[in-house]
Amino acid sequence: MSHWLPLVIYLAIGPIAGGLLAGWDRRISARMQSRRGPPILQPFYDVLKLCQKQNLVVRRGQNFYVLFFLLLVIFTGGLFFAGSDLLLVIFALTLAAVFFVLGAYTASSPYSFIGAERELIQMMAYEPMILLTAIGMYMVTKSFSVHDIAAHGTLLVLALPGIFLGFVYALEIKFRKSPFDLSSSHHAHQELVRGITTEFSGRALAMIEVAHWYENVFLLGWVYLFFAAWPLLGVAASLLVFGFVIFVDNVFARLKWRATIRGAWAVALALGFGNILALSLLHHW
Amino acid sequence: MAGFKKSPWIIHYDASSCNGCDIETLACLTPLFDVERLGVVNTGNPKHADIFVVTGAVNEQSKSVIRNLYEQMPEPKVVVAVGACASTGGIFRQCYNICGGVDCVIPVDVYVPGCAARPEAIIDGVVRAVGVLEERHRAMAQIGDRIDQTQYLRAEKSDAPQILALQYVAYQPDAQVYGEANVPPLQQTLEELERDFERMVFVKAEVNGRLIGSARGCANRQAAELSRVMVHPYFQGRGIGHLLLTKIELAFPGVQSLQIVIGNKSEQNLRWLQRQGYQAVQTEPSTPATTTVHLHKECK
């Protein structure tokens, strides 16, 4: 029974927590720029409004893909919080992102095309590190199951410091934060006319927002996994990582796509693969 | 609902000004004024925007851009003209290439005075626009809730002003395709429309006393010529057009055939009419810029 509790909590509280995190993000960003910033509940107001707007589409198919994006993101997080196989979770996460990209491609507009292509590049950039994270966790706990990893007695981050840092690097990309907000930026609404989300309006845009909330909660859940042996430390670490991501977002300018890929792969190789190499050497020694 | 009041997303466009108002509009985003605390987001994408802020007088080149941006915004939407030039044409009013304020292209809801308009005034204009936005949304929602109670009636001469206003809104997409000067419905005046009532039959679709659709036709010996079957863009795709067409067809019981003439580039309308049982019989050039398609339907 306790197996299902995290899943139910995720499905029910996920969007609320995600929305609050997004509101917190906007507030903190504003404070960092010495502005007052919007209320914490602002993301909810936005989504509420978007739901009441007219739904303009270029092709009807585009909203269908966005619906699948939302469902698959919820499914990904659901698998994760139900304690399922980590590799399956990664597979579902990738599939969700692919549906988002397909949606943008369906709405044939040059802006959403560029956004979709950049989203693909971002996926190529973070995917190796995410996979290495799963492998690293397997090497320590001898299991891919999230349930077993969470139940493991030791702090994973002690054995996987490189992988943890690499994962935080990948999170920057996954959260669509500077310096890796290539496909669609939270702040620059006028560059490439909002990238991948350009052609979505009304309810479809609201669905994308809610999908991002779910996704963010799921990703922070993964950060928690590194500290699962000490739950309080885990929660604190997740929030700290989120705060760090916001900080980096406000400090850095955007990178070009080549630099993004090179940087992400270099980090995956040095920190991710290096960590795994060290682990296996220590093991055999 | 709180949504519209708390989250007005803005797109801002500089028609052809000295950029003074333009810069003041951006100044609203700075730490000193920080409009984001009111939930305002400067989107740059018409498909995400609720409020269209235009600065500067409108010239021949920016005309089509403004109309295009306005058309791409999802309903409900509000237009704010910022500064003297955007409101009236300002000191550029008599220039050879200026056609006036923003209201010479699209309907404007809020005028912000000033040269250049101060950020405080612009924020005040946006807050007023939010009020209009809410009002409009409430009206739309009320009509949307009662769309099944739509009444299809004969229109009287007293409906002419409402029909003309609807015509102006409904034919905007055509203006984009053919150019405003080539779309007769957009050129029609109230007097002309009222004169049409003497020779044509008009029907209307009405909800809560508000006109959301209309069609007209006139008998021509054995055939009836139908025209201007239109539905407000917000209520399209809900079968109102089909019922309007049926109603106007029934207004001519004695005729043998029905005819409709439309522009050849209106592909969606063409397909829709074909689904309603009309067949294209001939194509002919009508003005240098447009070619018309004649559609035909036999009456049983």
Convert the pLDDT of each residue in A252-281 to its tens digit.
Answer: 888 888 999 999 999 999 999 999 999 989
Q: Between chains, do B1 and A52 touch, taking CB under 8 Å as contact?
A: yes
Instruction: Identify the residue whose tokens are 């740059």.
Output: B44
Q: Is the dihedral of CA B71, B73, B76, B81 positive or negative?
A: negative
User: Which of A35, A52, A199 comes nearest B47 by C-beta?
Assistant: A199
Bridge partners of B59, per DSSP, are B98
In chain A, what residues touch B7 (CB-CB under 8 Å)? Answer: 42, 45-46, 48-49
From the CA of B212, how many Å to the nearest CA of chain A?
Answer: 16
Please count the other Cβ atoms lying within 10 Å of the Cβ belonging to residue B261. 14
Please count the other Cβ atoms lying within 10 Å of the Cβ belonging to residue B208. 13
pTM of the model: 0.80
- Give the pLDDT band of residue B175 (cuts 50, 70, 90): confident
Q: Kindly tell me the burial class for residue B249, based on how many C-beta atoms sit within 10 Å of its own C-beta (0-12, 13-18, 19 or more).
A: buried
- The ipTM, to two decimals, is 0.86
Distance of alpha carbon B295 from alpha carbon B264, whole angstroms: 11
Q: What share of chain B is helix, strand, coil (3-state, %, to 5)?
A: 45, 25, 30
Average pLDDT in the B45-54 region? 91
If you measure CA to CA, which chain A residue comes closest to B7?
Answer: A46
Backbone phi and psi for residue B200, each to the nearest 5 degrees, phi listed first: -120, 160
Segment A34-67, tens digit of pLDDT:
988 899 999 999 999 998 888 777 777 788 899 9
Chain B interface includes A262 (CB < 8 A): no
- Joined together, the tokens standing for residue B208 give 């809560």
Q: Between chains, do B39 and A199 touch, taking CB under 8 Å as contact?
A: no
- Joined together, the tokens standing for residue B147 give 């769309």
pLDDT of residue B53: 93
Chain B interface includes A42 (CB < 8 A): yes
- Joined together, the tokens standing for residue A198 give 């350009």
Q: Between chains, do B31 and A55 touch, taking CB under 8 Å as contact?
A: no
Percent of all residues in chain B with a pLDDT value above 70, rounded to a whole number:
99
DSSP letters along B47-110, please?
A: GG-SEEEEES-EEHHHHHHHHHHHHHSPSS-EEEEEHHHHHH-GGGTTSTTEEESGGGTS--SE
**B275 Cβ contact partners less than 8 Å away, ≥ 6 residues apart:** none
A3-32 burial by CB neighbour count: b if 16+ within 10 A, else e? eeebbeebeeebbebbbbbbbbbbbbbbee
From the CA of B103, how many Å to the nearest CA of chain A?
Answer: 23
Q: Between chains, do A200 and B37 touch, taking CB under 8 Å as contact?
A: no
Cβ contact B13:B138 at 8 Å? no
Q: Number of A to B CB contacts under 8 A, please give it.
A: 88
Distance of alpha carbon A152 from alpha carbon A285, whole angstroms: 23
User: Which of A38, A52, A189 comes nearest B45 by C-beta?
Assistant: A189
Segment B241-298, tens digit of pLDDT:
898 888 888 888 888 888 888 888 888 888 888 888 888 888 888 777 788 888 888 8
Compute the mean pLDDT over every residue in chain B, rounded to the nearest whole number: 86
**A201 Cβ contact partners less than 8 Å away, ≥ 6 residues apart:** A50, A53, A54, A55, A56, A57, B47, B48, B74
In chain A, what residues touch B1 (CB-CB under 8 Å)? Answer: 48, 52
Integer-rounded Cα radius of gyration of chain A: 19
If you measure CA to CA, which chain B residue comes closest to A34?
Answer: B31
Distance of alpha carbon A148 from alpha carbon B97, whole angstroms: 73
Check whether B158 has a pLDDT greater than 90.
no
In chain A, what residues touch B34 (CB-CB under 8 Å)? Answer: 30, 35-37
In chain A, what residues touch B33 (CB-CB under 8 Å)? Answer: none
Segment B230-257, tens digit of pLDDT:
998 878 888 888 988 888 888 888 888 8
- Joined together, the tokens standing for residue B114 give 């000033």
In chain B, what residues touch A34 (CB-CB under 8 Å)? Answer: 31
Strand order in the sheet with B51-55: B41-42, B9-14, B51-55, B78-82, B110-112
pLDDT of residue B119: 92
pLDDT of residue A266: 95
Strand order in the sheet with B201-207: B151-154, B201-207, B210-220, B223-231, B257-263, B291-298, B279-285
Q: Between chains, do B74 and A200 touch, taking CB under 8 Å as contact?
A: no
Parts of chain A with a pLDDT under 70: 1-2, 186-193
User: Which of A26, A42, A198 comes nearest B45 by C-beta?
Assistant: A198
Amino acid identity at A250: N
If you measure CA to CA, which chain B residue comes closest to A111?
Answer: B45
Segment B96-148, tens digit of pLDDT:
889 888 988 888 999 999 988 999 999 999 999 999 998 888 888 877 777 78
Cβ contact A261:A124 at 8 Å? yes
Cis peptide before A43 (omega within 30 of 0): no
User: Which of A56, A190, A205 comes nearest B44 by C-beta?
Assistant: A190
